Amino acid sequence: MASITLNNVVKRYGSGKTANQVIHGVNAKIDDGEFVVVVGPSGCGKSTLLRMVAGLEEITGGEIMIGDRVVNDLEPSERDIAMVFQNYALYPHMNVFDNMAYGLKIAKVPMAEIEARVAKAAKILELGEFMKRKPRELSGGQRQRVAMGRAIVRQPQVFLFDEPLSNLDAKLRAHTRLEIQKLHRELGITSLFVTHDQVEAMTLAQRMIVMNGGVMEQFGTPDEVYSHPATTFVASFIGSPPMNLLSNAPDSEPGTVVGIRPEHLDITPGGWALRVDALEMLGFERLIYGRWQHGDGDEMVIVRSDEAQPVPELDSIIHVTPRADRLHTFDAATGKRLSANA
C-alpha cells in the first residue's frame, strides 16, 4: 500500500492563448490505506484528475507521487495501480475466472498463485458460483464485482475507481456501496473513487475532495464538508436538499450570504414568514418549499420537517426560526466561508 500526493497538479489542453486549463493547482495528500472520494458535477475535472494519477493523462504541471516515488513520467503499468471503470471493461469471450486471471497470466505469475489469488477475491466478492459464466450471463452488479475482483487479484498499492456504479440501478448501487465498504475494510488498500453522486460520496468517503471547475473547493471528512462548507458551492452541492443561501437575511452584514440547512429551520409562532409554494411528502419527513418576501424581492427557502408537524396548506403562511448556532456566513463576492460558527 502507499499514499498518493498531489503537489500543485495542473492540466491544460493546448498551448498559448487558446490553452484550456481544466485542473487548477490541486494539492492533496491521501494517506496510506485511506478511502478518498472525488466528487463534483459533470465537467469539473474529477475524472481527469483520476486519469492523471493513473497515468492515462499527462500532467501539465506539478507533481504526483505514489508512495515515495514521483510517477509523472511512469507508464500506467509501472505505477502499481489497479483501475475499475464505469463500463466494467470485461472480455466477453472469457469466463469470470479467465477475466480475473488474465492480467496475472500476462505478468507470468505461476498458475498456482493465480488460482489462489482468484479464489480469495471470488470469496470476498461472493463470486464462487459464477466462475465459469461469461459476462453476458451476469447481471450488471455481478459484472462490476468481477471488475473489482480483477483489480483485487493484482494486489496493487492503489485502487482507482472511475464512477464504477453509474450503470447500476438505485437499489443495486446501494448494495454495491456496502460491498465496496466491506472490501476496503478487509483489504485496507489506498483508494481514490470518482463520482458525481454526493450520496455515494458521503457514504463511502473517509475524506472527500469537492471539485468545481477544475478547482479543489474543499478536502475534508464528510461531516466537515457537510457541517462546515468552505464555499457557497460546497454548501449548495453537498446536501439533499441543498443549504438555503440567502443574500438578504435579517441582521446580516452587507456583502455577505447567509446559509442555513433545511433541517436547522424550526417552524415557530414567529420568525421569518414564508408563503408555501410546494410540498414533498417523503414518509417520515417532508420538505416545505416557501417564498420569503423582503424589500428586494423574494427568495426560495426549503424547510425540512417531520411527521410530528402539521402539514401546511399550499399558499398559506408559515413562520420559521433559524437555529443561531447553525448559521453560516459567506463572502458574497468570493463565495468563501467567513463564519467560524456552525
> Is the pLDDT score of 10 beyond 60?
yes
The answer to whether 264 touches 313, Cβ cutoff 8 Å, is: no
The tens digit of pLDDT for each residue in 55-98 reads: 999 999 999 999 999 999 999 989 999 998 888 789 999 999 99
The tens digit of pLDDT for each residue in 303-334 reads: 999 888 888 999 999 999 999 999 999 999 99
pLDDT score of 144 = 87
In this structure, the answer to whether residues 173 and 285 fall within a common structural domain is no
Report percent pLDDT > 70 for the chain.
98
Give Cα separations from 254 to 231, 261, 275, 297, 330 (angstroms): 17, 21, 25, 16, 11
The tens digit of pLDDT for each residue in 186-216 reads: 889 999 999 999 999 999 999 999 999 999 9
What CATH number corresponds to the domain at position 268? 2.40.50.140
> Is the pLDDT score of 340 beyond 70?
no
pLDDT score of 88 = 78
Last residue of a domain, one of 233, 265, 295: 233
In this structure, the answer to whether residues 73 and 203 fall within a common structural domain is yes
- Distance of alpha carbon 275 from alpha carbon 289, whole angstroms: 8
Q: Please choose, from the candidates 150, 193, 157, the residue with its C-alpha nearest in 3D space to the C-alpha of residue 142.
A: 150
> Is the pLDDT score of 342 beyond 60?
no
In this structure, the answer to whether residues 34 and 181 fall within a common structural domain is yes
341 within a domain of the structure (yes/no) = no
- Distance of alpha carbon 239 from alpha carbon 133, whole angstroms: 41
pLDDT bin (cut points 50, 70, 90) of residue 24 is very high
- Distance of alpha carbon 60 from alpha carbon 175, whole angstroms: 38
The listed range with the strongest mean pLDDT (3-12, 75-84, 330-339) is: 3-12
> Is the pLDDT score of 341 beyond 60?
no
How far, in whole angstroms, is CA 192 from its chain's centroid?
10
Its pTM stands at: 0.90
Count the domains in the chain: 2
Range of the domain at 277: 247-331
311 within a domain of the structure (yes/no) = yes
Mean pLDDT (the chain) is 91
339 within a domain of the structure (yes/no) = no
241 within a domain of the structure (yes/no) = no
In this structure, the answer to whether residues 229 and 265 fall within a common structural domain is no
In this structure, the answer to whether residues 268 and 313 fall within a common structural domain is yes
